[in-house]
Structures are given as C-alpha cells and as structure tokens.
Homo-oligomer: A and B are copies of this chain.
C-alpha cells in the first residue's frame, strides 16, 4: 500500500500538492497535476480511509440497527438502505440486536468511537435518553421512538382497521386476532385496532397472542380454532403468523378461504410462495428503507434539521386467502 508521501516523492512534489489534486482543492498547475496523477497511477495509490477518518472525524459509514436479519421483513429493508447509501459513498454496517437492549447499547457505544456518521434504528426498547447522547443524526424506522427523533413509520392502526373492514365486507363476522408479542410496538397497535374495531362493530373479541414466528402462528391458530369454534376469519399480526395459520388450517382440513379467511400484515415475499397466496396489508418495505436512508442522507449533508416524521401507507393486497 503506497502512501501519499511516496506518491509525493515519486512525483517530485510535496504531500500537500498531492492532497490538493486528490481533493480538487486549491490551485495546482496543470503540469504538476498530471505528474501527480501519473505517480498515483504508477504506484496504484489508494487514499487511506482510516487516516482520512481520523482527521475528518467522519468515516462515511452509517449503522443500521435491526432486531434480526433472519426475520423476512428485514432483508428488503436492508437492501433498500444500502442501495441508496452506497452510491453516495457511504458504507452500511448492519447490527442484529435480537431486541436485546444490552446489545443495542453496546453497538451504539461502538459507533461513536468509530466515527459512524449516522444511524438508522429499528427498536422497541431504545428510548430518547439512549439516543440523545449520540452526536450524529438518528432515524427511527418502523417504530416511532420520540418526537425529537426523526422517524419513518406506517399507519399500523388505520391499516389494521382497513384490513378488518375488508373482512367484514366479504361477509366475515367471527373475526379472531392472532396477535404478535405485546412488547412490540407495531403489534400492539394492530391489536388496539382490532379491539376498537370489534367494539365499534359489536363483534366478539377473540384474541390469541403469540410470537412473530411460523410455529407460533400455527400452534396458536390450532388453539384459537379449538377454543372458538365458529371463527370465520383470522387477522394475523404479521405475515409469518398468517402463514402459520394457513398451515394450521390445512392440517385441520379447514378450507381457506371457503371456510376460513386469513389476512396477513407486512407483505413479505413468503406470502406469494404459499397456496393459497396470502391476502395481506402490504407495507412498502423497500420504500420505507429508501425513505429512511434518504432522510438520513439529508441530515448528513445539512445537520441540525428538525425531526421529520414520515408516515407511509400500507396497502391492501387481495390474493387468495380471503373470500
């Protein structure tokens, strides 16, 4: 690895001059510029990012903190973020927190010492006081954390309401809710919508709580279906649970959508892999990631912007699992 010093020597100039042509700053004679360029080429010189970071107190790197990349919701989100950051010269570092606050705090601590320039955070546990000490822009993704922290979210409550309305329109009256974990903000919003909806429409409230996983979705649907015999629709807290419900129905010999309608939430790719294909409230996952990255980029360029709160809309995608 050649250094700027060697390039300077090779070109017969000083390091300052090399730095100038490197960064197009200050005056430099065309001839010397060419000589420097030639030296750079010959020595295959590549500026040292670490040294540059030390001086600039900035690493052209952002952190992306998510619960777990193996959750099918996140790969697309991650891709979106990288797809917008990379062309702008930023590297993205991914962190899996497993929703463990200790891990999250560890990561955050590491970031500042690495001159990470900004962070995108998906977390149910992180609060203002944890993020406040960070001197870099932060974007909260998927979950709103605090009014003082910019965020990109979707309208979980309203969308859930719409999903439920659709089920009623299609003639469902005994609608059960397969709820996600209570500590997850998005699932509690969806649950809240379900409760309000059933109350408003005078429908029976049938709730079964589980975790955001396939097995859980299946097992809990089994329980649900034995506990409440007359269920004619299931509104699941997310797609993975909904697919679990589909599996349970298949196992119990219940025909979907004829005897039972199943509605998911998220719009992950899995939903198109199953038969019948899953009807779902589709989040614009890729756009959410894009938007968050763009907001971060804006704050990177012009620091001190007031916290913006963007709310995207989920959209009902009717496929085959509902009447």
Map CB proximity to B onto A134-169 as digits: 1 under 8 Å, 0 otherwise.
010000000000000000000000000000000000
* A interface residues, how many (CB within 8 angstroms): 44
In this assembly, does A48 line the interface, its C-beta being within 8 Å of a C-beta of chain B?
yes
In this assembly, does A114 line the interface, its C-beta being within 8 Å of a C-beta of chain B?
yes
In this assembly, does A216 line the interface, its C-beta being within 8 Å of a C-beta of chain B?
no
Copies held by the complex: 2
Which of A48, A50, A91, A250 counts the most B-chain CB atoms under 10 A from its CB?
A50
In this assembly, does A15 line the interface, its C-beta being within 8 Å of a C-beta of chain B?
no
CB distance from A134 to the nearest CB of B (A): 11
Map CB proximity to B onto A69-94 as digits: 1 under 8 Å, 0 otherwise.
11010111011001000000001111
CB distance from A136 to the nearest CB of B (A): 12
In this assembly, does A96 line the interface, its C-beta being within 8 Å of a C-beta of chain B?
yes
With the chains together, A243 CA to B273 CA distance in Å? 7
With the chains together, A99 CA to B114 CA distance in Å? 29
CB distance from A270 to the nearest CB of B (A): 6
Give every chain B residue within 8 A of A69 (Cβ-Cβ).
Answer: 69, 75, 78-79
With the chains together, A275 CA to B110 CA distance in Å? 44
Q: A75-B70, A96-B82 are in contact. Are A113 and B273 (CB under 8 A)?
A: no
In this assembly, does A208 line the interface, its C-beta being within 8 Å of a C-beta of chain B?
no
Q: A49-B114, A72-B72, A96-B82 are in contact. Are A273 and B275 (CB under 8 A)?
A: no
In this assembly, does A246 line the interface, its C-beta being within 8 Å of a C-beta of chain B?
yes
- For A63, give the chain B residue with the smallest CB separation: B91
Q: Which of A21-29, A51-59, A225-233, A297-305 contacts B (4 or more CB under 8 A)?
A: A51-59
Give every chain B residue within 8 A of A34 (Cβ-Cβ).
Answer: none
CB distance from A119 to the nearest CB of B (A): 14
With the chains together, A59 CA to B79 CA distance in Å? 24
In this assembly, does A109 line the interface, its C-beta being within 8 Å of a C-beta of chain B?
yes
In this assembly, does A12 line the interface, its C-beta being within 8 Å of a C-beta of chain B?
no
Give every chain B residue within 8 A of A14 (Cβ-Cβ).
Answer: none
CB pair A214–B54 under 8 Å, yes or no, is no
In this assembly, does A274 line the interface, its C-beta being within 8 Å of a C-beta of chain B?
yes
Query: Residue A274 contacts which of B51, B76, B114, B274 (CB distance < 8 angstroms)?
Result: B274
With the chains together, A74 CA to B75 CA distance in Å? 9
With the chains together, A82 CA to B243 CA distance in Å? 28
With the chains together, A241 CA to B114 CA distance in Å? 42
In this assembly, does A190 line the interface, its C-beta being within 8 Å of a C-beta of chain B?
no
10 A-B pairs in the complex with CB atoms less than 8 angstroms apart? A1-B135, A48-B113, A49-B114, A49-B115, A70-B79, A72-B75, A214-B269, A246-B275, A273-B274, A275-B275
- The 4 lowest CB-CB distance pairs between A and B, nearest first, are A49-B113, A70-B75, A250-B275, A49-B114
